[in-house]
Amino acid sequence: MSDYGYICLDTEFINNISIIELSVFSIADRELYHRLFRPARNLKWTAPPDKLKITPEMVANEPTFREMLSEIQPMFDQARFIIGYAIDNDIKMLAKEGVKRLERIQTIEVRDLYWLVRGRSEGVDLYGVPSLLSITNSLGMAFEEGEAHFASSDTRATLFCFHKLMEAFCAGIGLAYDPACPDEAIAAFFRELDIARRQYLREQAHGYAYLFKTERGYKYKVSRTLPERPAEICVEVADRSLADYDIMKQFARRAVPGDKGVFKLKGSDLDFFRSYTNVYDEDNAEMLRKLMRFKGRLSF
């Protein structure tokens, strides 16, 4: 089997413009490729010790990424899976720098694997997984701050986490884990992640909409939990974002100028609120969740 069938990688890049370091490891923890690159454009940057360790001086005499593309592209042409931590960022930068046919390769996000195996049961948010440094140390590999944010160190840590977490995942579902050929384990991971993510998003969508009576009108709020103080009216909803959209649309013309979230409501509005209910629709839930982040800009 080719060393390039499953690859684990990390890039370091600046300003979302240029890759300045690439490290690629095989599934067997062998570094297949590593080098530094000089940005094609004359970019200035500093190297904050907690984010980036590579300085302009370190890459001044290196080739650009595109100058080395002829030796980089064949690795990706052979790859079936790419393992990474925050891998979407790396894939976007690789594509921007000219690597082709990345869309045919399946990516494995170690943050998702961590959330499925450990984070979910510990109350970690699907979108709030800890840093690679934190996860690596929690899994038993000493990984110091001084090593982080060098591509080779980060790739080795990512691969360590992948194997540790995949082994634990397989043990939990009664599946033998073959670290040299993890196809079956990867397929099971994607199945279980899809189920768990759907359930999580459904649970996260649930909440309450409520009204407080004030001197200027009714203060409307929506949240995941019940209000800390008694509300005038409180209704339980399956999808908070959908409730927010529907209720804001109903109340839009009753808004009190200069008093955000306060409305002069009529009896019919209060009846609407009391009887309001909704159903979670996973096909529309994500779109609504994103839309209602900008509800202040919406015109109903």
Alpha carbons 22 and 12: distance in angstroms, whole number: 7
Q: Provide the residue count of the chain.
A: 300
Residues 126, 178 contacting (CB under 8 angstroms): no
- DSSP 8-state code for residue 90: H
CA distance 239 to 261: 19
For residues 132 and 141, give the distance between their C-alpha atoms in angstroms, rounded to a whole number: 11
Task: List per-residue pLDDT tens for the chain, 300 residues long.
Answer: 467 899 999 999 988 899 999 999 999 999 999 999 999 888 888 766 556 778 889 999 999 999 999 999 999 999 999 999 999 999 999 999 999 999 999 999 999 999 999 999 999 999 899 999 899 999 988 876 656 668 999 999 999 999 999 999 999 999 999 999 999 999 999 999 999 999 999 999 999 999 999 999 999 999 999 999 999 999 999 999 999 999 999 999 999 998 888 999 999 999 999 999 999 999 999 888 888 877 766 666
Instruction: Determine phi and psi for 265, rounding to 5 degrees.
Output: -100, 145
Query: pLDDT digits over 10-58, tens only?
Result: 999 988 899 999 999 999 999 999 999 999 888 888 766 556 778 889 9
- Beta-carbon contacts of residue 245 (< 8 Å; ≥ 6 apart): 288, 291, 292, 295
Q: What is the pLDDT of residue 22?
A: 97
Q: Residue 173 in 3-state DSSP?
A: helix
The answer to whether the beta carbons of residues 95 and 121 sit under 8 Å apart is: no
Cα–Cα distance, 176 to 294 (Å, whole number): 46
Q: Give the pLDDT of residue 147.
A: 62
Instruction: Output the pLDDT for position 290.
Output: 85
Q: Could you give the CA distance from residue 118 to residue 290 in angstroms, rounded to a whole number?
A: 27
pLDDT score recorded for residue 294: 76
Q: Say how far apart CA 130 and CA 132 lie, in whole Å.
A: 7
How far is the C-alpha of 265 from the C-alpha of 214, rounded, in Å? 12
Distances (CA, A) of 120 to 60, 63, 91, 113, 127: 44, 43, 26, 10, 11
**Tokens for 196?**
């768990």
* Secondary structure element (H or E) that encloses residue 10, with its range: strand 6-14
Which residues, 6 or more positions from 229, have their beta carbon under 8 angstroms from its beta carbon? 212
Would you kindly state where each structural domain of the chain is located, as residue ranges? 6-202, 206-297
Where residue 33 falls (left for φ over 0; alpha for ψ -120 to 50; beta otherwise) is beta
| Class of the CATH domain delimited by 6-202 | alpha beta
Q: Which two tokens stand for residue 261?
A: 């979230």
